[in-house]
Structure 1
Amino acid sequence: MNAQAREFDYVIVGAGTAGCLLANRLSADPANRVLLIEAGGRDRYHWIHIPVGYLYCIDNPRTDWRFRTEPDPGLNGRSLIYPRGKTLGGCSSINGMLYLRGQARDYDGWAELTGDDAWRWENCLPDFMRHEDHHRLDPGGDADAAHRDFHGHGGEWRIEKQRLKWQVLDDFASAAVEAGIPRTRDFNRGDNEGVDYFEVNQRSGWRWNTSKAFLRDVEKRDNLTLWHSTQVLGLEFATGEGDEPRCRGVKAERSGEEVVATARREVILSAGAIGSPQLLQLSGVGPADLLAEHGIPLVHELPGVGENLQDHLQIRSVYKVTGANTLNTMANSLWGKARIGLEYALTRSGPMSMAPSQLCIFTRSSEDYRHPNIEYHVQPLSLDAFGQPLHDFPAITASVCNLNPTSRGTVRIKSRDPRQAPAIAPNYLSTPEDRQVAADSLRVTRRIAAQPAFARYAPEEVKPGVEYQSDEDLARLAGDIGTTIFHPVGTAKMGREDDPMAVVDSRLRVRGVRGLRVVDASVMPTITSGNTNSPTLMIAEKAAAWLRETS
């Protein structure tokens, strides 16, 4: 490859959720030469595309970075797997496919924290809608007027109904209504309170990842170059105006050779809430003490790089049921598995089309909250832990997470080697507020399961167990049974100029460094009140518009 081929206008690190959209939008202008770099390979693994295949993609070196958390005191010393996508499409290739935006108050809060009204809900909504292709707006769809006000059609990001129904989940939903939780038709209008089935990022029973949505149809553009299976080793800097460093490109290993790709305009980090702070730290941008510890020359001190880690911790309650059809009973026989496979082959429906969770509930853990502060992912199955066999008795799992945790964690490099995973310390349940929400949310689960609509199944609480009743017992049990729901954010947060922990400004430019932005979930100052994939796409849509304005 000659030197000219290594010079671009924009270099994007990470072909995941944000990176694929950015590559699409920036290369739409033929005057822009864009390089997109991905450490993983192409998304050709068949289990990426079959919805239930997330079971075979998570913790698989072919598709997952296979991170692990540090032993966590809040989890009573346990360490968790911490999946992050390592393939085209990134986490959208291995995640739960659930389409949630969060709540309007999330984005209004970002506007207050950054001093920039561009982040207010009403100014984010058009960025959500710009790439949407919502099923209710299809010809013959059942959209009401509000759907047309809040959703888009004809964009790249397909949103569909799930292609299955479970009576036991229908009855759990009815029990939630009896417990005082309203039904809803749409979790994405700014107030997501209610109960309904999740909508999913699928197309006709196949996973719809960002590689298919934003990259596949434009990859052959003459001005777009894709380097997959390419490990970025670090950022390259030059002295800028007033001795302020300028990011001039990246150093990467490609086909066993070290290469430098330079950016005439900007380098954009879209490596995610773990990868982006790791790369900044490795390149000399971050907390001075941490960099000195590893002998990394300081390019620019930003103490917030790798701090402010937030995640949703799900607490899994398991209820054994009688007289119900659940996946435990269907999938624990060869005949049942054959029927499941045949249904998917013929109709692209049934359990193989399942997202990891089917029924959704947003509600309050107590009357102290004016807004929904917990979210349920309810499934017609149960197991001891992810990757373990299904139980041999019929059961459902009602997982609940605190939407707005006050606990904060860190991502910090362990060495100068870019191939060594950083230390990931979420610090779950490290505040009294989070421990109280954990205890209260388990009580909400019990209240729903005790309603008349669910009584026909004679539900028996297997986990955590009815013998645990006090706040202290339930918080401790939450630490025993809680697992990540894979939503890390915040490790390169945006903020005002007077916020010493802000890594990027409100337009996502790295503070004190020219020519460098971060565009992924790491820039969220606070976690959204729901799943984080589609908010990350919104952030990328907004950033793409700003980049086009300055090109």
Structure 2
Amino acid sequence: MSFDYVIVGGGSGGATLAARLSEDPTVNVCLLEAGGAGDHLLIRMPAGVVAMLPGWGKISNWAFKTVPQKGLNGRQGYQPRGKALGGSSAINAMLYVRGQRQDYDGWAENGCTGWDWDTVFPYFLRSENHEDGITDMHGGSGPLHVAHQKSPRPVTRAFIEAATRLQHREVTDFNSGDNEGVGLYQVTQFHDGPHVGERCSVAAGYLHPVMSRSNLTVITGAHATRLSLEGKRATGVHYRKGKDDAHVSATREVILCGGAFNSPQLLQLSGIGRTEDIAPHGIKMVHELAGVGQNLQDHLDFTLGYKSKDTDNFGIGLRGSFNLLKHIWDWRKTGKGLLATPFAEGAAFFKTDAALERPDIQLHFVVSVVDDHARKLHLGYGYSCHVCVLRPESRGTVSLASADPMAAPAIDPNFLTKDADLSTLIKGAKMSREIMKTPPMAAFEHSEMFGVRDGMTDADWEQIIRARADTIYHPVGTCKMGVDDMAVVDLELRVHGMQALRVVDASVMPTVTSGNTNAPTVMIAERAAEFIKAEAARAVAAG
């Protein structure tokens, strides 16, 4: 089969691109996705994330593990990533966060001209169908539904009140470029129409409504194994579906949208990257590119947990199960209630030092006890407060664990290898606990969990952080954009030194944004679609 464009990966980048490129009826687009259609009930129902996140059965989840982390006492970290159309937007907490103005201005100042806040902002607007309609800060006619939470729990309101008592400002919108303060997250959730209350994954917003286009072919269950290359030009993709190997050709471009782990892995499997990462596996080198798989960044997260006698949140046990049945009915009928929750209802972005220019930590207040990514369950009711370092200094890698394309890559985030990350996380944990102990929140507490206690020294905090911290699911940077020697793609996301090959996903971020990474990834794909269309138009004009 031959197409104009072949897209590898139907996640946030790939779903956006497939929808946008196929708007032109004169081009043919093929999208390869290793997972399924991304439309089953556990994805559509926001609370279904509790069944998918832990990775048991790998329901729409790659459920990757890291290599042992020296900074985490030799533990293997867990890296859930979406395996379905919609990618990680099908299994995430639905939080819509653009990041800070300085994130993008910093990209531009470091060589990524044209990626500053003012330039990228219109692409955020283009993607959005916001509940409030078109405003100065939000778009109202895009494919991605963005909504205010309809049923935040009382304990979340208490979290916000406790923080404001400590003189943190309350914020109603964390997407203006200045996100300092506390409030409620906005969510990628349908706010009208037949799917109201359901998760609006990027596939549900962009891709599912246009699957009937005659010029769009979507192949699910298709695991890309390597690129087909003619010299330095990408000409197609080899993939495996079930037990069968197949191939699709691309007459214009191959576009990788596999994310921060799978995109560098596919490049390496195809002989593109560092010799020391590729040659030992018996793979022929095609193109030396030093940055492939380097520069991995992720938000390391530490969680405070509390048992509570409050039953108006998510609990495990007989009463919790009975309440769950009631809430299923409420959600199916109204799109509201507990099953519409993103779980991480409460938001906060704080400075650990008042002298800082902008917040350096993020809090996710969750209406349930979360232990080891929900892989360890606790009877009863409770709540959690997550704190992460927004701009980590630690850098990791993604490399081949095997020449077998079906094997997982070797993921090494290199967590806590920089002292500054640990120092910031300790300060953030202390700030978070202060909120938890302030009267509006203290009223909900029955007992504190995970060994956290009064009178802890910094050494005590370090011990418990190294024993318990792990990702909050924002890996980026492994095919970074730029003009320096470690850049993998140029400013229009074309792979340096290659032809007809781009990368369009979170791996191209030079540095991680100061917040959740889904909205920025959609923005990147919106820009990429424009770049690709403009390049095609130039080619036609040139004859």
What amino acid maps onto 2:299 in structure 1? H
Name the CA shift for 1:223/1:429 in 2 (closer, same or farther; >3 Å): same
User: Is the 2:39–2:204 Cα contact (8 Å) retained in structure 1?
Assistant: no
Deviations 1:76-124 (A, max 9, x none): 11112211111111111111111000001001111122241x2010111
Partner in structure 2 of residue 177 of structure 1: 164
Deviations 1:492-512 (A, max 9, x none): 00111xx22111111111011
What amino acid maps onto 2:427 in structure 1? D
Partner in structure 1 of residue 515 of structure 2: 530
Alpha-carbon distance between aligned partners in 2 of 1:121 and 1:407, rounded to the nearest angstrom? 25
Q: 1:337 aligns with which of 306, 314, 324?
A: 324
User: Is the 2:347–2:365 Cα contact (8 Å) retained in structure 1?
Assistant: yes
Is 2:210 the partner of 1:218? yes
Partner in structure 2 of residue 546 of structure 1: 531
Alpha-carbon distance between aligned partners in 1 of 2:212 and 2:313, rounded to the nearest angstrom? 45
Deviations 1:223-249 (A, max 9, x none): 21111111211011112xxxxx11111
Name the CA shift for 1:313/1:252 in 2 (closer, same or farther; >3 Å): same
Alpha-carbon distance between aligned partners in 2 of 1:217 and 1:380, rounded to the nearest angstrom? 32
Counting only pairs closer than 5 Å after superposition, residues 380-399 of structure 1 correspond to structure 2 as 380-388=367-375, 390-399=377-386
Partner in structure 2 of residue 74 of structure 1: 71
Counting only pairs closer than 5 Å after superposition, residues 87-166 of structure 1 correspond to structure 2 as 87-116=84-113, 118-137=114-133, 148-166=135-153
For the residue of structure 1 that corresponds to 2:528, the secondary structure is helix
Alpha-carbon distance between aligned partners in 2 of 1:388 and 1:86, rounded to the nearest angstrom? 18
Per-residue deviation at 1:312?
1.0
User: Is the 1:198–1:359 Cα contact (8 Å) retained in structure 2?
Assistant: yes
Alpha-carbon distance between aligned partners in 1 of 2:534 and 2:70, rounded to the nearest angstrom? 46
For the residue of structure 2 that corresponds to 1:386, the secondary structure is coil
Higher mean Cα deviation, 125-134 or 225-234? 225-234
For the residue of structure 1 that corresponds to 2:420, the secondary structure is helix
Per-residue deviation at 1:382?
1.2
Name the CA shift for 1:447/1:506 in 2 (closer, same or farther; >3 Å): same
User: Is the 2:343–2:368 Cα contact (8 Å) retained in structure 1?
Assistant: no
Alpha-carbon distance between aligned partners in 2 of 1:170 and 1:349, rounded to the nearest angstrom? 17
Name the CA shift for 1:309/1:115 in 2 (closer, same or farther; >3 Å): closer
Partner in structure 2 of residue 298 of structure 1: 285
Q: 1:456 aligns with which of 443, 447, 462?
A: 443
Name the CA shift for 1:334/1:420 in 2 (closer, same or farther; >3 Å): closer
Counting only pairs closer than 5 Å after superposition, residues 227-306 of structure 1 correspond to structure 2 as 227-239=219-231, 245-254=232-241, 256-306=243-293
What amino acid maps onto 1:382 in structure 2? V
What amino acid maps onto 2:331 in structure 1? Y
User: Is the 1:468–1:474 Cα contact (8 Å) retained in structure 2?
Assistant: no
What amino acid maps onto 1:156 in structure 2? P
User: Is the 1:317–1:464 Cα contact (8 Å) retained in structure 2?
Assistant: no
**What percentage of aligned pairs have identical amino acids?**
40
Name the CA shift for 1:383/1:252 in 2 (closer, same or farther; >3 Å): closer
Alpha-carbon distance between aligned partners in 2 of 1:491 and 1:251, rounded to the nearest angstrom? 22
Name the CA shift for 1:442/1:63 in 2 (closer, same or farther; >3 Å): same
Per-residue deviation at 1:154?
1.6
What amino acid maps onto 1:511 in structure 2? H
Counting only pairs closer than 5 Å after superposition, residues 406-485 of structure 1 correspond to structure 2 as 406-457=393-444, 460-467=447-454, 469-485=456-472
Per-residue deviation at 1:317?
0.7
Alpha-carbon distance between aligned partners in 2 of 1:226 and 1:341, rounded to the nearest angstrom? 32
What amino acid maps onto 1:212 in structure 2? A
Alpha-carbon distance between aligned partners in 2 of 1:35 and 1:86, rounded to the nearest angstrom? 18
Higher mean Cα deviation, 286-295 or 255-264? 255-264
Q: 1:405 aligns with which of 392, 414, 420?
A: 392
Name the CA shift for 1:47/1:404 in 2 (closer, same or farther; >3 Å): same
Per-residue deviation at 1:388?
4.3
Alpha-carbon distance between aligned partners in 2 of 1:331 and 1:351, rounded to the nearest angstrom? 17
Alpha-carbon distance between aligned partners in 2 of 1:11 and 1:458, rounded to the nearest angstrom? 53
Deviations 1:19-45 (A, max 9, x none): 111111111112211111111122242
Per-residue deviation at 1:370?
1.8
Name the CA shift for 1:471/1:38 in 2 (closer, same or farther; >3 Å): same
Higher mean Cα deviation, 337-346 or 23-32? 337-346
Counting only pairs closer than 5 Å after superposition, residues 303-322 of structure 1 correspond to structure 2 as 303-321=290-308
What amino acid maps onto 2:26 in structure 1? A
Deviations 1:271-299 (A, max 9, x none): 11111000000000011111111111111
Alpha-carbon distance between aligned partners in 1 of 2:98 and 2:188, rounded to the nearest angstrom? 13
Alpha-carbon distance between aligned partners in 2 of 1:381 and 1:251, rounded to the nearest angstrom? 43
Partner in structure 2 of residue 51 of structure 1: 46
What amino acid maps onto 1:250 in structure 2? V
Alpha-carbon distance between aligned partners in 2 of 1:257 and 1:459, rounded to the nearest angstrom? 55
User: Is the 1:37–1:226 Cα contact (8 Å) retained in structure 2?
Assistant: yes
For the residue of structure 1 that corresponds to 2:36, the secondary structure is coil
* Count of residue correspondences: 529
Per-residue deviation at 1:345?
3.1
For the residue of structure 1 that corresponds to 2:136, the secondary structure is helix
Per-residue deviation at 1:460?
4.5
Name the CA shift for 1:70/1:389 in 2 (closer, same or farther; >3 Å): closer
For the residue of structure 2 that corresponds to 1:260, the secondary structure is strand
Per-residue deviation at 1:344?
2.2
Alpha-carbon distance between aligned partners in 2 of 1:337 and 1:257, rounded to the nearest angstrom? 42
Alpha-carbon distance between aligned partners in 1 of 2:198 and 2:494, rounded to the nearest angstrom? 36
Q: 2:501 aligns with which of 502, 516, 533?
A: 516
Q: 2:333 aligns with which of 346, 352, 356?
A: 346
Name the CA shift for 1:163/1:72 in 2 (closer, same or farther; >3 Å): same
Question: Normalising by structure 1, what TM-score?
Answer: 0.92
Partner in structure 2 of residue 31 of structure 1: 26
Name the CA shift for 1:104/1:460 in 2 (closer, same or farther; >3 Å): same
Alpha-carbon distance between aligned partners in 1 of 2:59 and 2:310, rounded to the nearest angstrom? 40
Partner in structure 1 of residue 201 of structure 2: 209
Partner in structure 1 of residue 359 of structure 2: 372
For the residue of structure 2 that corresponds to 1:358, the secondary structure is strand
Alpha-carbon distance between aligned partners in 1 of 2:153 and 2:58, rounded to the nearest angstrom? 33
Name the CA shift for 1:329/1:285 in 2 (closer, same or farther; >3 Å): closer
For the residue of structure 2 that corresponds to 1:71, the secondary structure is strand
What amino acid maps onto 1:231 in structure 2? H
Partner in structure 2 of residue 7 of structure 1: 2
Question: Normalising by structure 2, what TM-score?
Answer: 0.93
For the residue of structure 2 that corresponds to 1:548, the secondary structure is helix
Higher mean Cα deviation, 328-337 or 226-235? 328-337
Name the CA shift for 1:349/1:546 in 2 (closer, same or farther; >3 Å): same
Structure 1: where are the runs of 5+ without partners? 1-5, 138-146, 240-244
Counting only pairs closer than 5 Å after superposition, residues 493-512 of structure 1 correspond to structure 2 as 493-496=480-483, 499-512=484-497
Per-residue deviation at 1:452?
3.6
Per-residue deviation at 1:47?
0.8
Deviations 1:304-328 (A, max 9, x none): 1111111111110113445674433
